[in-house]
Amino acid sequence: MKMFLGIFATLVIQFTAPVAFAQSTDAEQKAILVTGASTGIGRNIAETLAAEGHFVYAGARKQADIDALSAINNIQGIRLDVTVQEEIDAAVEAVTKEGRGLYGLVNNAGVSVAGPMIEMTEDDMQFQMDVNLFGPYRVTKAFAPLIIESKGRITTTGSIAGVLSGFFSGPYGMSKHAMEAFTDALSAEMQRFDVQVSVVQPGNFNSQISNSRIERLLEKGETGEGSLYRDDIEAMRNDPRDRSRFKDPDDVAAAVLHAMFDERPKQRYLVVPVEEEARITMFVGMLKLMQMNDEQQFSYSRDELVEILDEAIGAAAARQPPPGE
């Protein structure tokens, strides 16, 4: 079981054909804000949306990245640290003054903290949640009036870590589990405004997310000395930052494009480069359901579970929200 729960972070894999999503035929240029757009998945999303003819406000923290993004056709770099409310407020003011409105928001900015839960410092935990959890909360809250006005779309970059969590992946997994609940609640609340809400759940793609994790570890001088997990921490210090062995996140950007513009967007987009990652994610998701069902007061038989599964398959195909939303 430990292999199943931790494998998503360590898979060395060969890649399959890209996922195909039907694209919108709406030629009208829409304005979309993408946070964390300087590198990796966020940069790919921003460039893909811009190449489709839409105008992208690309959030970044460093001036060099803002300038580089602004040099791309249909992209305007904008200073936006999702942990700084003053920068978020300034971004809202800047976008409002531009007069284009805002049709879409892509909450993509994220970091990764890894380590043992029983030794994790509160500072590290706060850093993880400040970006991955409170970041989308702050940005969505700030830009909600513009999105509601345009009856637009909100998409958040989650992860298969929103289902999987294992050895040393607790903080990151917690933050991405939270995005699942965030999406469900926000979707239910925004329905009355005709705003569609989705979460994209990538697997292992080529990105820069390992950099912040390892750099933070090295900056703190963490060697594992005195830890119950010393050998594991030393091994983590030597983890390769280069994720070029993984596929570029074109499929993730395609999923965001579908979530933004398709007439029938999905609430969840599982986007993984190989079948093995999909199978593990589905297995663990189903295992959790079976653990909840195990010897509870109203446990369901296999036949009853299959009946519930059939109902869920039908609801998913019809793009129906879960009961109670």
Dihedral through CA 213, CA 252, CA 44, CA 191, nearest 10?
-100
**Which residues, other chains included, contact 228 with Cβ-Cβ below 8 Å and sequence gap of 6+?**
116, 118, 119
Distance CA 106, CA 36 (A): 9
C-alpha distances (whole Å) from 234 to each of 7, 9, 224 are: 19, 17, 6
Catalytic-role residue among 57, 172, 229, 269: 172
Q: How far apart are the first and last CA of the chain?
A: 33
* 57 among known catalytic residues: no
C-alpha distances (whole Å) from 163 to each of 82, 166, 203, 224 are: 24, 10, 11, 28
C-alpha distances (whole Å) from 66 to each of 33, 62, 189 are: 13, 6, 33
Distance CA 70, CA 259 (A): 24
Are 144 and 193 within 8 A, CB to CB?
no
**Catalytic center residues:** 172
